[in-house]
Structure 1
Amino acid sequence: MHNFQLFIKKNIIKGSTVVVGVSGGPDSLTLLHLFLSIKEEYSLKIVGAHVDHMFRAEQSEEEMLFVKDFCYQYNIPCEAKQIDIPAYLNRNKISSQAASREHRYNFYKEVMDTYNANYLALGHHGDDQIETILMRMVRGSTGEAMAGMKAVRKFHNGYIIRPLLTASKEEILQYCDLNGLEPRFDPSNEENKYTRNRFRNTVLPFLKSENPLVHERFQYFSETFLEDELYLKELTKEKMNTVLKRKEKSEVEMDTKLFLNLPLPLQRRCIQLILNYLYETIPSSLSSIHIESLLNLLSRDHPSGSLDYPNGLRVIKSYDNCLFTFDYDKSLPYEIPLSIPSTIVLPNGSAIDCGILKKPHFLKRGNDVFSLSVERLKEPLTIRSRKQGDKIKLKGMNGTKKVKDIFIDEKIPLHNRDIWPILEDGDGNILWVPGLKKSAFEEADCNGDYIFLQYKEL
């Protein structure tokens, strides 16, 4: 396989240690045999690594013994491990393929650490690449995932390499025949209950009948798409600096108006970068549909709206703000008794200072302060979140006004309204919406002591 030699020359440093994942099937056995053929030329240390997932009892154990014996014949180390995946599945709600992959890759990390290996080589080939790309397209993957498997990518303390992505399954089987290799075949690969097998057994034969070299076209697509995607991602990162207003561990806020000025391809990638930042691991249920739904929400004329994303992430549009948050409901609703004197730290990151003063009319006025005669105080005072139907009798006005309308008039972002503090007395009267409006209950110009409150940012 000429392309294998070119790949090694381009991507591997001489004198390195390479862990080769070996299942015993034709793909991984071919890969291991190819590495053995260049071992001396590149001064490589080769280590075989095999995992028995224990799905097929004696048959899978025999495959493990076959791999260990193969490595012994060629005088290379072999690390093999049996992992009871069926038992693990009984304790955890996860697919068998996801569980197998998780444990297999954790084992590979252990082997790389043991041998101080630079590379983990895997036997994925061109037909696998076709299946992967098509599966991800159908599932609605976005960004780099659309390019399928990378030939080289960072992994643990080194790299995963896939030298056979330009080879077809047929070429691999021919290699096994020419070199007298006798690989083992997993019968589960023919079962159509697995999604990948359905693509392999139905879609792939059709594509190959149209073009026997279709795997080369898909690999070309993968490489060029990835190049384009990486360029657009870097361009998006540059533009992100003008769009983001706030970036925290579990929240990101951006300027919707500036965001919508970006070209549409950068908008999509901007959202993807935010999701990659917030999610430690992107949920499998997250797809391009979520991104398109958000683009539709942000481009609509309506000033507000929200979307629920997987794993508790909420995206909230409000006027020129868009908030991505995992913390939306953590403090809701709230009700905090207000002691006199005291300082109350509020869920929205602000605080209210409360004390008793003489002649508050000498102090600054404005909606950030509120004063009330001690004689007219109806205890207890409470700081709470808003409730449906809240109304306030505004200072200097006849009648009442809905608190909801005050938020709208002041263009308070939707995600801030539910945690905005409201001061209520013991009779249920709303005395003050801190920072926004005062009620007619405020007093500042008569004799006696006053309760004086000040709203401030921390």
Structure 2
Amino acid sequence: MEEWLKELSEYAKSEGLWAPGDAVVVAVSGGPDSMALLHALHRLSGPESLTLVAAHVDHGFRGEESAKEAESVRRFAASLGVPCESAYIDMPAYIEATGMNGQAASRGKRYEFLLGVAHTYGASRIALAHHADDQAETVLMRILRGTGLSGLAGIPVSRFEKNVELIRPLLRKYKADILRYCESWAIPYSHDSSNGQRHYFRNAVRLDILPYLSAYNPQLPQSLVRLAELASAEDDWLALETKAVYDRLVLPHREGCQLNRKALLGLHVALQRRLIKLILSYIGLETEPSSFESVETIRLAASEGAATTWSYDAGGGIRFVREYDDLRFIRAWDAGRETVAPGGYAYAVAEGTTSLSLPEAEAILSFEETAAAGARRPGNRREALFDADAIRYPLTVRNRRPGDRMAVLGLNGTKKVQDMFVDDRVAPSRREVLPIVVDANGLVLWIPGIRRSASALVADSTTRFLRMKARFASDFTD
């Protein structure tokens, strides 16, 4: 067994990619990577007691070119004595009918087919031909788009999807190594013309960005691959630590779970973020990962200086609620019962937010930071000007709650919000939906159209101004 094949076998053993007697579906596109993978696994199938089946999908994007690729895969598999399953999917028509993203839709249909082939043949693994250059491109793409440690881990060498393990035996092989292997064994392969189209982000990274950056570091692909391996190991360790913390601190609560605020604050900030993200992942109704902004908003809402009672729509069908030292994560259908009275609402406003839609109040609030030169006085009671440096975030925009009081500008002491509504002859039906802007300390800053508080007043020393403006549905119909 030559060195190339020996390295592949040792890598598979070290990563547990297969075991003697396994049936493996090999995803073969027709390009050099997947054709080399099929050839190499065929050579290993005898010594390592593997049963192989090739699988190819023609997505119908490139007409005759992709049809020829499908035929070349079938011929090559036949020459090796490996059964081949192939499928034609009219992806352009499917994308037009569904309106889905082309790459995401193609990937979904491709995996659906591969999993079906694995089920038919009783295969426990699907081998994919991603290689080290793919890994380097993936890590760089994620850096450019913004990512955390999990993103830096790049493409995993293996993962499960619907009880079938997706394995990537070539993940440590570079493209140049694969091409040399194809040349030495006279392996036929096709060239995908779409690989030169720069409107695909990955192609632009491969053709332009990586070569440009490699002028500053010729070993950049290797550095990115090494970064992925280091990040992957550390990410795995942190995931295990987070799961242990979850099991210790998080308790079930009706349609979600709850956590003690002080217990969360007792964790390192990295574990705080990881734990919140894990909770959102466990009880969420959607598959999209939680955004950094959502996780950080929840984390900061648990801090000592934040409002003691607060709720926030965290996305994924989850509402986060803080009530003193209890932190609760509630699925959407239970949120109304858990957070506010029927018809109530509460929205978080992080620093930098520019607009907030309030369907319950049929209103839109805008938030604009201005410098001194542009800080004109409010034109009416639906605008208010604040000293931006005196504002304590996150703000909460919500409806009235029993006991709400405001330190009214021009008056000594505080006044009940309910009394202010009565004084201004606000209709009872509107009192429960009019928005109130509250800071992180629970102080009522402003009731749009009613009053502004004595907090965060603009002074001669003010250098940053925050202008809040309310527009109600009636404003658009007058």
- Displacement of 1:402: 7.1
Equivalent residue for 1:323, pick from 314, 324, 328: 328
Change in 2 beyond 3 A, CA 1:220/1:178: same
- Indicate the residue corresponding to 1:21 in structure 2: 27
CA drift of 1:193 comes to 1.3
The residue type equivalent to 2:273 in the other structure is R
Shift of 1:107: 0.9
Tell me the secondary structure at the aligned position of residue 123 of structure 1. coil
Q: Which residue of 2 aligns with 1:379?
A: none
Find out whether 1:191 has 2:189 as its counterpart: no
Q: Report the Cα distance in structure 2 between the residues aligned to 1:92 and 1:247, rounded to whole angstroms.
A: 38
Please say if 1:130 is aligned against 2:130: no
Instruction: Look up the match of 1:302.
Output: 306
Match of 2:322, as an amino acid?
K
Specify whether residues 239 and 39 from structure 1 end up closer, same or farther in structure 2 by C-alpha distance, changes over 3 A only. closer
Q: 2:119 aligns with which of 113, 121, 129?
A: 113
The answer to whether 1:99 aligns with 2:83 is no
CA shift at 1:281, angstroms? Answer: 5.0
User: Contact 2:118/2:124 (CA < 8 Å) preserved in 1?
Assistant: yes
1:35 to 36, 41, 46: 41
Query: What letter is aligned with 2:318?
Result: L
* Displacement of 1:211: 4.6
Amino acid at match of 1:8: A
Name the residue aligned to 2:472: none
Aligned pairs for 1:1-80 (under 5 A) are 1=4, 2-10=6-14, 11=16, 12-80=18-86
Aligned to 2:259: 254
Select between 16-25 and 87-96 the one with higher mean Cα deviation.
87-96
Larger radius of gyration: 1
Letter in 2 for 1:52: D
Supply the distance in 2 between the matched residues of 1:164 and 1:222 (Cα, whole angstroms).
15
Q: What do residues 179-227 of structure 1 show as CA deviations (whole Å, max 9, x unaligned)? A: 2123111121221212222221222223444455444433333233222
Deviations 1:132-184 (A, max 9, x none): 22223344444534311111222333321111111111222222222212311
How many angstroms apart in 1 are the aligned matches of 2:334 and 2:144?
32
Q: Aligned AA for 2:295?
A: I
CA distance in 1, matches of 2:207, 2:214: 11
Structure 1 SS opposite 2:302 = helix
Work out the CA distance in 2 between the residues paired with 1:316 and 1:136.
Answer: 32
SS in 2 for 1:90: helix
Query: Which stretches in structure 2 are left out of the alignment for 5+ residues?
Result: 344-397, 405-414, 420-431, 434-478
Deviation of 1:403 (Å) = 8.5
The secondary structure found in structure 1 opposite 2:188 is coil
Alpha carbons 2:264, 2:272 under 8 Å: kept: yes
Partner of 2:280: 275
Letter aligned with residue 255 of structure 1: N
* Residues 138-157 of structure 1: pairs in structure 2 closer than 5 A: 138-142=144-148, 144-157=150-163
Contact 1:17 / 1:44 at 8 angstroms: preserved in 2? yes
- Give the Å deviation of 1:289: 3.2
- Cα shift at 1:313: 3.0
CA distance in 2, matches of 1:323, 1:176: 57
Query: Match of 2:295?
Result: 291
* 1: CA distance, partners of 2:117 / 2:50: 16
Judged with a 3 Å threshold, the aligned counterparts in structure 2 of structure 1 residues 26 and 302 are, in CA distance, closer, same or farther, namely: same
C-alpha distance in 2 between matches for 1:137 and 1:288: 15
Deviation at 1:236, TM superposition (A): 2.1
Q: 1:137 to 1:32 in 2, by over 3 A?
A: same
Give the direction of change, closer, same or farther, for the CA distance of 1:173–1:229 in structure 2 (3 Å limit).
same
2-structure distance, mates of 1:57, 1:134:
32
Report SS of the residue matched to 1:270: helix
CA gap of 1:247–1:168, structure 2 versus 1, over 3 A, is: farther
CA offset at residue 267 of structure 1? 0.6
Q: Note the C-alpha offset of 1:122.
A: 0.4
Letter in 1 for 2:305: D
Does the C-alpha gap of structure 1 residues 391 and 263 become closer, same or farther in structure 2, counting only changes over 3 Å?
closer
TM-score normalised by L of structure 1? 0.68
Deviations 1:411-440 (A, max 9, x none): xxxxxx99xxxxxxxxxxxxxxxxxxxxxx
Q: Is the 8 A contact 1:141 1:287 kept in 2?
A: no
Partner of residue 200 from structure 1, selected from 193, 198, 206: 206
Between stretches 136-145 and 101-110, larger displacement belongs to 136-145
- Whole-Å separation in 1 of the counterparts to 2:35 and 2:54: 10
Alpha-carbon offset, residue 41 of structure 1: 1.4
Residues 198 and 135 of structure 1: is their aligned pair in 2 closer, same or farther, counting only changes over 3 Å?
same
Q: Classify the secondary structure of the residue corresponding to 1:309.
A: strand
- Cα shift readout 1:21-73 (whole Å, capped 9, x = no counterpart): 00001111111111122222112211100011111122212211111111111
**Alignment partner of 1:264 out of 245, 264, 269:** 269
The one-letter code sitting in structure 1 at the alignment partner of 2:267 is L
DSSP-derived class of the 1:327 partner: helix
Structure 1 unaligned spans of 5+: 336-385, 393-399, 405-416, 419-458
Paired with 1:319 and 1:139, the residues of 2 have a C-alpha distance of 37
- Name the counterpart of 2:376: none
* CA distance in structure 1 between the partners assigned to 2:211 and 2:100 by the alignment: 30
Please provide the CA RMSD for this pair: 3.0
Between the two proteins, the alignment pairs up a number of residues equal to: 347
Counterpart contact for 1:119–1:161, Cα < 8 Å: yes
Q: Would the alpha carbon gap of residues 276 and 82 (structure 1) be closer, same or farther in structure 2, given more than 3 Å must change?
A: same
- The answer to whether the Cα contact below 8 Å between 2:336 and 2:342 also exists between their aligned partners in 1 is no
Once the two structures are superposed, residues 240-284 of structure 1 have per-residue CA deviations (whole angstroms, 9 ceiling, x without a partner) of 2453243455x2322222201111111111012112202355316
Identity %: 34
Q: Secondary structure at the match of 2:333?
A: coil
TM-score (structure 2 length as normaliser): 0.66
